[in-house]
A and B are shown apart, each in its own frame.
Chain A
Amino acid sequence: GDSVTQMEGPVTLSEEACLTINCTYTATGYPSLFWYVQYPGEGLQLLLKATKADDKGSNKGFEATYRKETTSFHLEKGSVQVSDSAVYFCALSDSGNNRLAFGKGNQVVVIP
Chain B
Amino acid sequence: DAGVIQSPRHEVTEMGQEVTLRCKPISGHDYLFWYRQTMMRGLELLIYFNNNVPIDDSGMPEDRFSAKMPNASFSTLKIQPSEPRDSAVYFCASSLRHDREQYFGPGTRLTVT
Contacts and interface: CB of A to CB of B under 8 A. Distances in A.
A56 interface: no
Interface in A16-40: 32, 34
A49 B101 CA distance: 8
A67 interface: no
Residue picked from A41, A89, A100, A105, most chain B C-beta under 10 Å: A100
A102 B98 contact: no
A34 B98 CA distance: 13
Interface residues of B, number: 22
Given A98-B31, A102-B42, A43 B106 contact: yes
27 contacts: A32-B99, A34-B101, A41-B106, A42-B106, A43-B4, A43-B93, A43-B105, A44-B43, A44-B91, A44-B93, A45-B104, A46-B102, A46-B103, A49-B101, A93-B98, A93-B99, A93-B100, A94-B99, A97-B98, A98-B56, A99-B33, A99-B45, A100-B45, A100-B102, A102-B43, A104-B42, A105-B42
Interface of A: 32, 34, 41-46, 49, 89, 93-95, 97-100, 102, 104-105
